[in-house]
Structure 1
Amino acid sequence: MDPGMDPGAIPTLPRGVRLHRDRVRDQWVLLAPERAVTLDPIAHAILSEIDGTRSFAEITETLATRYAAPREQITADAAGFLQALQARRFLDLAT
């Protein structure tokens, strides 16, 4: 597991940040006040699992099972993505 991502951390979207389906462009975006990030299918799959109650380890286990992918690869990819969002204040991590 990525040493920077605690498996027990609970990712949450901060107040004012939400997933949104942009119907005009037919794509998912992550919206925040005066900012937006276009999401690819992998990013959307990861963010769709964030419910504010499940840990990072639980989320990555669900994704690995759903997509029949190696857990280590899912964990590494998800950790990098979520840490980048956290650095840009699109994501909070509770421990």
Structure 2
Amino acid sequence: MKTTTLGRIPVLKDECQLYFDGKHDRWVLKAPQQAVFLDKLTLLVLQACDGYCSEQQIIASVATFPELGGISERDVSDILAEFEQRGFIQVQAA
């Protein structure tokens, strides 16, 4: 796992599109040659990747959502790392 710092600002790559599929009642992250159907936690994490919030801010904020009960900062950090590794997120310096 990568060390998180306030200087890392994740953002969805330009070629990625996050949208709601009303026909199937689900959120989708679409990228060239692939699509991912998102659960509630992953959706919240990816929506927070707006290019303004640091990785640490996203981790601390999403981990406090009461409706997600039992989610740790490590869980959020793992999602960010996975989607960065899979090429959906790029990280900018602050």
- Aligned counterpart, 2:23: 24
- Percent of aligned pairs with the same amino acid: 29
Gaps of 5+ in 2: none
- Aligned counterpart, 1:13: 12
TM-score, L = length of structure 2 = 0.82
- Aligned counterpart, 1:54: 53
CA deviations 1:38-78 (Å, max 9, x no partner) are: 1001111111212101101111222234338678x1x2111
Contact 2:17 2:31 in 1 (8 A): yes
Q: CA RMSD in A?
A: 2.0
- Deviating beyond 2 angstroms after TM superposition, the runs of 4 or more aligned structure 1 residues are 64-71
Contact 2:18 2:28 in 1 (8 A): yes
Q: Whose strand proportion is higher, 1 or 2? A: 2
CA deviations 1:8-50 (Å, max 9, x no partner) are: 2100011111211011110001111221111001111111212
Contact 1:5 1:79 in 2 (8 A): no
| Inter-CA distance 19–43: structure 2 relative to 1 (3 Å threshold) | same
- Aligned counterpart, 2:82: 84
* Letter matched to residue 76 of structure 1: R
Gaps of 5+ in 1: none
* Letter matched to residue 67 of structure 1: P
Contact 1:5 1:83 in 2 (8 A): no
